[in-house]
Amino acid sequence: MTPPRRPGAGAAKRGALACGLFLLLLALLAAPSASAKLPDPPKLSARSAAVFETSTGEPLYGVGAGERRLIASTTKIMTALVAVDELPLDRVCTAASYRPAPAETQIGLRAGERMSVRDLLRALMLPSANDAAETLAVCAGGSRQRFIDAMNAKARRLGLRGTHFSTPVGLDSTSNYSTAADLARLGIALRRDRFLARTVDMPSATLSTGAYPRTVYNRNLLVQRVGWVNGVKTGHTNAAGYLLVASGTRRGLSFVAAVTGTPSEGARDADALALLRWAYATHRFATPVRSRQVFAEARLKHRPEDEIALIATRTVRELIRRDERLRVVVDAPAELQGPLPRNAVVGSLTVRRAGRVIATVPLVTRTAVPEVGLLERAADAIVRPGSLIAIVVVIGGATALLLRRHGARRRRSRADMEAA
């Protein structure tokens, strides 16, 4: 007789199957299509350009990115970095003696006027005031030349091999130069300072110290026009052309683009924005491994019904193109024998990108592995299928031997009786 079917069992299975298929469909839809063609890098008017991912410092694309060029007021990114290294924000500096040319940008600092470092940095980074740059240099370095020496020392520490400074202001000089790649790296360094990152993301600011309040405006118009653009610095001279180091953050990704030698402000902004948009369209972060994530389970030797979870010790997060995939290879034992402490290393994960190993992560036990007692091990040995067969064979063999010996004795006894 067929046993009665449990009510709802078929519906439950069908529901579970439908749920599984739905989750699989969601996963397929969420995953970027490997066959989708990614956009090509944009065509630029800039003489040189570069775009980098901020958290990793990884270069993504460049045009003449290593060529040395005049950099105008993007020089002031380094001026700001050295100033915050040397001066507290609340320090008050006395305006340096500086005679700007009529075309230079300034906030009109008067000789002897006193202004806080905080306000001087805002004047430096937003309207690009040359008198603020000169004042910060003398205040932080004691002299203009010592400050320039500090700028070059910091460039060496940051690994900017295509960069040299001869001014804190950025007026044209054959010994004041950088590359698009180095300018992008400078932009990344600036964004790591909380005050400077907030400053370059401001459309305007009011300087409350000094002889009178001043309101200054950010020359980087992308900060005002594009919500996710958050810095960094413009530059322009007739010889250098129009420059921009632009940064943006959205969807958990941050990029910095640098363009130099563009023919106009409009072309400068369009080039930088195109590079940032291209970076977002073509790159993503993948996290194939998360810390404490279970990647395998091992049976406990002599107690196979118990399983020990094996977990990763750290997270692997990799910037990749949207059409790339990462592969995780697990090397883990199927069985473990205790005692082992919690977090004992018993295996490993290998993360591969296009066949190349990019990370190796230890696999450890999530819990301690107990020692199985002697009696339990003996019982396990007895109940194992192979062990039972061996026991049956041994017992059968012993029984057959005894029967043969017993038969032989009976035959001998019968022969003796017949002989008698």
- The residues that are catalytic are 73, 76, 128
Is-contact 109 148, C-beta < 8 A? no
Q: Which helix (H) or strand (E) holds 281?
A: helix 265-282
CB 275 within 8 A of CB 329: no
Parallel/antiparallel/unpaired status of strands 294-300 and 335-336: parallel
Question: Which of 109, 164, 150 shows the shortest CA–CA distance to 131?
Answer: 109
Residue 152 CA to residue 166 CA, distance in Å, equals: 9
Bridge partners of residue 69, in order along the sequence: 178
Q: What is the DSSP letter of 174?
A: T
309: three-class secondary structure by DSSP: strand
**Pairing, β 345-353 against β 326-331:** antiparallel
Cα–Cα distance, 298 to 309 (Å, whole number): 7
The verdict on whether residue 37 carries a ligand-binding annotation is no
Give the CB-side neighbour count of residue 299, counting CA atoms within 13 A: 7
List, as residue ranges, the binding site for substrate. Answer: 233
List, as residue ranges, the binding site. Answer: 233
